[in-house]
Structure 1
């Protein structure tokens, strides 16, 4: 069976698990994902701004591996480094669990207007540090945190700018601007003495508030997903539900809005469970590694190896950046789409209940409507996605993307979920102005 076929074969009872999880999201976990406050990024309303700006509301959620405790590091970032204050503030805002974010990290930074009056859009990112560095006395999270920090600083201080307007499919120039951002951040990490060594995957995405374009660069097996709301009439007929089992008698509610998968980023790997990644070796080993690279005995991945994407967004789209703690456990098509539908349905139901006495209507929301607060929607999607991935990750009886990939590579004994750090950054897309 092909990987695509295996992805379509996700059993229906998993969808019931999503719905059941939404009913009681806290029962099966000792702690839940930590959501960050939602933030909205929009182009300024000055007279020179376009009449139909795009608005992006973002939120993030994270959770380290169960029981994760950072191993004592022999060297690393000092407590007075500005990155540490930025990281700790994010942890406080997210009411971080004891496991923190593990080796994952992320960013969400507005792209400043030249006059400082607003945002041209937002840059989002996720990075997944390689845990094996702990064996060498190095904190793996320092590399991923620094990569996101330096990317943020380049955006914040206008050392990086949005690419000129480009339509989807017109080439990779706009996506290459994100490669340039990643390349600059990587070079900064290489120069940072506080980062002794480390490795990380990386995904950076820019959302343009003038054009509604998404530009992305992805290296490794982190990635992003784009979902689009649509009327039920646009979908093929839904097959009848399978009979309930003793373990699952709950029937999911009918979604108020349906979503379809528009884009799922393909992971970049060298071989099974070995993604492309940016790396920094200890100083004592770099000369030897350079020689090994010249001799073809060592593979070194660079930002230029990243896949680039340009995609036109539409009103109501949901963009998710995820580390592999999510994508190894949850299918994008069928499960992530259903999860977003159920979160949206729950919020719409709550909003309808609170407003029913005011207007006396019970109309269903349109696909692009804003019945649910975008801030609540972004936050709820991110938190629910992380929590659900954690539930699935510890189950041996589920068929996951990780198990499917192991089967494709003929790796034996890899069944069920994969326990890992999980980070999800969510953006809800709106077209403002007179649209």
Structure 2
């Protein structure tokens, strides 16, 4: 996407970011704990990427492709903490971008504390160590490995399914916690994958991607039938990484989305000449590290919107509201799983897949920023590895668990840094210009941010 920067160029932003990237170490002080076994599947290994990142690794032991995944998240600042009341009643706080809201009523909602969804959600939040009063905000995600037919004989996974969802914050005006719908949508999608209540795609690429629409449709029906979720709306992005074929399939509804980035090794890394310095001069700050591997964006998914800041979304409308609308859908934005866009691509060794909510994509450009961000992270990971990237053509340098976790956490950190900058030209500013919205020509968008990363390897 072509754009003209009005201030705060990608190079300047990433130089600032590079100062926040501490060198990685494989010593006992490494921020990456030893992986533990996931309860959901013996084929999934879970590790922690940072103070607010939960990581999963799905390995296909007897197949050609392996995928190492990690998720990082951070809710946006709020003026008062989101808090849970008794018996599942949730009082949502006033968001920082809506300080004028004064009238608010709570709705009896939510699942019982002992519901498996709540336990699963709380486990992710506890593992990620996100600020308790913020958590993931209205976002949620899941990562689930699918056993192969040889799993019983010690085989690996058939692949892995990823998902992200972003609850629509406007429901807070009605006293509904937007996070409940997004969490339930991801939970039910994960359950259908985990219990094999969904047919793994075996058709041609286009039809395989359609199977993800079926998964989304089933999860949406489950949410619609769940009495504990009284109302809500959410975007949704589901992706499948096939460990037998190396194919990537996705279905995306709304303005969450995904990027696919591809590495290329640099044959020789140029060393910039040192500048002469006088005796009393202050040495300039060090430049960002020169990467041994570059990344290019091979696909950036286009968002689906009705109009500015109004994405396509799945919605559960209370019966009382539908009756008030005369049995119709009134002025509600209601889309269906069949409206999702689908996409398929043959992956290559070393590819990086990123799923995200719009808290990332509204603030960070795919080309010029996301690709450079990956290069910076890769350089730091490779510096801590025993085998540098140039030795293997860019296909395996560094540890994939550290790489996936560091990309996810750094992406969330960078998006949050840009979100509060009033002087930058962001995708959100570009979108406001396209829709001729005045007063938003510059600046980021403060929002919840969730990023799920998958590092692809061909064995």
* TM-score for the superposition, normalised by structure 1: 0.84
**SS at 1:5's partner residue?**
coil
Q: Distance in 2 between matches of 1:318 and 1:365?
A: 19
Aligned mates of 2:228, 2:332 — CA distance in 1: 25
- Equivalent of 2:59, from 41, 58, 67? 41
Q: Deviations over 1:242-281 (max 9, x none)?
A: xxxx9x9441111021111011000000111010000001
Q: Counterpart of 2:457? A: 430
- Distance change >3 Å, CA 297–CA 143, structure 1 → 2: closer
In structure 1, the partner of 2:18 is 19
Return the match for 2:253 from 219, 231, 249.
219
Match of 1:420 among 431, 444, 447: 447
Q: How big is the shift at 1:371? A: 2.4
Q: Which runs of 4+ in 1 moved over 6 A?
A: none
How big is the shift at 1:7?
A: 8.0
Query: Which of 348, 351, 364 is the equivalent residue of 1:330?
Result: 364
* Alignment partner of 1:61 is 2:72: yes
Deviation sequence 1:121-144 (CA, Å, 0-9, x none): 000000000111122121110000
Q: Output the CA distance in 2 between the equivalents of 1:35 and 1:365.
A: 30
Aligned with 1:127 (options 165, 172, 181): 165
Tell me if 1:260 matches 2:296: yes
Q: Which of 147, 150, 162 lines up with 2:200 in the alignment?
A: 162
Instruction: Kindly state the Cα deviation for residue 290 of structure 1 after the two structures are TM-superposed.
Output: 7.2
Task: Pick the aligned partner of 2:179 from 141, 160, 182.
Answer: 141
Give the deviation of 1:299 after TM superposition: 4.3
CA separation of 1:396/1:54 partners in 2, compared to 1, >3 Å: closer, same or farther? same
Structure 2 residues without counterparts, runs of 5 or longer: 25-49, 84-90, 92-105, 271-281
| Length, aligned pairs only | 393
Q: How far did 1:5 drift?
A: 3.2
- Structure 1 window deviating more from structure 2 (403-412 vs 73-82): it is 73-82
1:258-297, aligned counterparts within 5 Å? Answer: 258-289=294-325, 291-293=327-329
2:46 maps to what in 1? none
Q: How does 1:87-102 map to 2 (within 5 A)?
A: 87-98=121-132, 99-102=134-137
Deviations 1:52-104 (A, max 9, x none): x1100001000001246226142222212110000011111111222100000
Query: Residue deviations 1:136-166, cap 9 Å, x none?
Result: 1211100000000000000000011321153
Q: Does 2:79 align with 1:81?
A: no
* Pairing 1:376–2:402 present: yes
- Mapped partners of 1:290, 1:382: distance in 2: 46
Question: In structure 2, what is the Cα distance between the partners aligned to 1:64 and 1:323?
Answer: 11
**Aligned residue in 1 for 2:219:** 185
Of Structure 1 and Structure 2, the greater helix share is in: 1
The structure whose RCO (Cα within 8 Å, separation 6+) is larger is 1
TM-score, with normalisation over the residues of structure 2? Answer: 0.80
Q: Which runs of 5+ in 1 are unaligned?
A: 26-31, 238-245, 356-361
Note the C-alpha offset of 1:288.
4.4
